[in-house]
Structure formats: C-alpha cells, structure tokens
C-alpha cells in the first residue's frame, strides 16, 4: 500500500500539489471522497489515493476497472482562481502531463509514445493506459475542481470487456514498476504544468503540446453529440478545449461533457 508520509516527503519540491496526502486501502471512489472533502474545505493540492475502488468513475458514467494494488488511482483537489470556461482546460492539462510521464517511462525501454484520444484518454498502441475525469463546483467563479486519474501500471490481466482495448506499463515493457516513483513523477509533471497555467493565462503552449499528442485531430470520426449519432472530421480544439468538428451539414463546437463517445469512422 502507498504510504502518505513517504509520498509527502517525495513531493516536497512541488509548488502546489501533494503537500497533503491521504492513502486508503479501499474507497468507493477517490473522486467522490475528494469532492466531499473539498466541500468541507480541504486545501488545494490534497492528494487522495486508493488501492481499490468499489465504484470507480470514468467518463460518461462508465466504471473504472482496476486490480487491487497494481495500478494508480488518485484524485487531486484544485482551487484555481480562473474564469469558469478556462477550467475546461484542466483535464486536457492533466492528460498532457500523464501522457508525457508515460512516454518518458516507456521511451527509455522500447521507444513507445503515449498519445491522447480526445478529450483525455491516454493511449499507447491504440490501447488505453490511463484516463482523466474532472468534476467541479462552480457558480460565477470556480470554487474547486477535482481531477481524478487512473493509470494502469502493473496489471497484466483485464476483464473480458476491456482486455482487447486496455494495456499497462508492465504489459508494454515486461517490467514491474515502483508505483510510488511513477506517482511522484506524474504529480510533479502535473504540478509544473498547473503552476504555469495559473501564472500565465495565455494557453497557447498548453494547447500546442496537447494537440501534438492528440490522435483525434485530423481524423474522420463517429460520435454522439447531445444524444445524436453523427459523423464528421475533427479539425481543431478552441481556446476552451472544445472540439471543432466539420460534418456534411455544419460545423460543430462541442465541449467534452456534450460528447458521449468518439470513435474512428472506419471501426
């Protein structure tokens, strides 16, 4: 089990994240717990990890499946003083950081790169290795944001429903990874990008880095938007992280929360 004291010591050099750490053997969902604690006043940067989730969350209400003790499942509480629309960039920021971390771990061994499927699925060789889920409490301003992240680290067997579409660092390298060291690297990467995000409201570099890793842009896709199955070409993301799609009849600008799924048109 991950140790909160060890993680706190490992994360001393961060600017904003991981100054407080809670580690659990089992929770319903780290995001649900983090959301409750945030409402109760928990500080920015609080990191919550779990060895097992009984009700792990994924995008679109899907469950996040993970074998106990093999992977990383955690949530971060953020309290950014930013405009509400700009908060939509935070899951893209996190996905960019996770993809960069995975690439650095993999490239030293086999040269593989982690890429991003819009908006925040991290893929290696067309298989999902990580996902990011944002939940927030906003009014006229952002009260808090909870970033939930799952990364498959040492899992080698997956349930029948996802065994053809999921992968892990261990499956890709035939090596066992130190989860605490991977988490440290990932939190430091998110912290660096988040600190830059708060200090400079010009998101050009963030969006450029994300676009360079995104496999969705430029592709013909099938997707469900506001309950309607559609086809089109993903051409860009705007300054608030919304996907621009050209269909036969119109040009759609869709927020991640408005899109249920995105798939390549040929599948």
- Residues 155-194 have pLDDT tens digits of 999 988 888 899 999 999 999 999 999 999 999 999 999 9
All domains of the chain, ordered by start, with CATH?
Answer: 4-212 (3.30.930.10), 216-264 (2.30.30.100)
Question: Residue by residue, what is the 3-state secondary structure of 175-201?
Answer: CCCCHHHHHHHHHHHHHHHHHHHHHCC
Per-residue pLDDT for 202 more than 90?
A: no
Which residue in 137, 147, 121, 151 sits closest to 215, CA to CA?
Answer: 121
- CA 236 vs CA 5, 102, 126, 199, 241: distances in Å: 43, 24, 21, 25, 9
Q: Which residue has the tokens 């559609």?
A: 230
- Phi/psi for 226 (5° steps) reads 50, 40
Rounded to the nearest 10 degrees, the angle between the axes of helix 179-199 and helix 90-107 is 140
Confidence band (pLDDT; 50, 70, 90) for 146? very high
Per-residue pLDDT for 226 more than 90?
A: no
C-alpha–C-alpha distance, residues 173 and 38, integer Å: 37
pLDDT of residue 49: 98
Which residues lie closer than 8 Å to 36 by C-beta, 6 or more apart? none
Mean pLDDT for 31-46 is 98
pLDDT of residue 261: 83
Per-residue pLDDT for 59 more than 60?
A: no
More confident of the two residues 40 and 240: 40
The pTM of the full predicted model, rounded to 2 decimals, is: 0.93
Per-residue pLDDT for 64 more than 80?
A: no
pLDDT of residue 61: 52
């Amino acid at each position: 089990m991950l140790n909160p004291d060890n993680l706190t010591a490992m994360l001393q050099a961060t600017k904003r994240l991981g100054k407080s750490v809670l580690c659990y053997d089992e929770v319903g969902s780290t995001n649900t717990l983090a959301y409750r604690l945030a409402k109760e006043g928990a500080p920015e940067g609080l990191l919550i990890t779990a060895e097992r989730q009984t009700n792990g969350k994924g995008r679109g209400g899907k469950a996040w499946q993970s074998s106990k003790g093999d992977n990383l499942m955690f949530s971060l509480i953020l309290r950014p003083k930013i405009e509400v629309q700009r908060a939509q960039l935070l899951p893209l920021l996190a996905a960019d950081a996770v993809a960069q971390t995975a690439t650095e771990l993999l490239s030293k061994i086999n040269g593989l790169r982690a890429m991003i499927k819009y908006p925040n699925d991290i893929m290696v060789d067309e298989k999902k290795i990580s996902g990011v889920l944002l939940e927030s409490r906003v009014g006229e301003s952002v009260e808090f944001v909870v970033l939930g992240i799952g990364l498959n680290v040492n899992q080698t067997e997956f349930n029948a429903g996802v065994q053809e579409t999921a992968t892990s660092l261990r499956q890709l390298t035939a090596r066992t990874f130190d989860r605490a060291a991977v988490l440290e690297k990932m939190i430091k990467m998110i912290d660096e990008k988040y600190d830059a995000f708060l200090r400079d409201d010009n998101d050009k570099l963030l969006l450029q880095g994300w676009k360079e890793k995104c496999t969705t842009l430029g592709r013909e896709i099938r997707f469900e938007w506001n309950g309607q199955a559609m086809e089109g070409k993903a051409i860009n993301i705007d300054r608030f992280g919304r996907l621009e799609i050209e269909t036969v009849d119109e040009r759609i600008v869709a927020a991640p929360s408005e899109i249920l799924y995105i798939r390549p048109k040929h599948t």
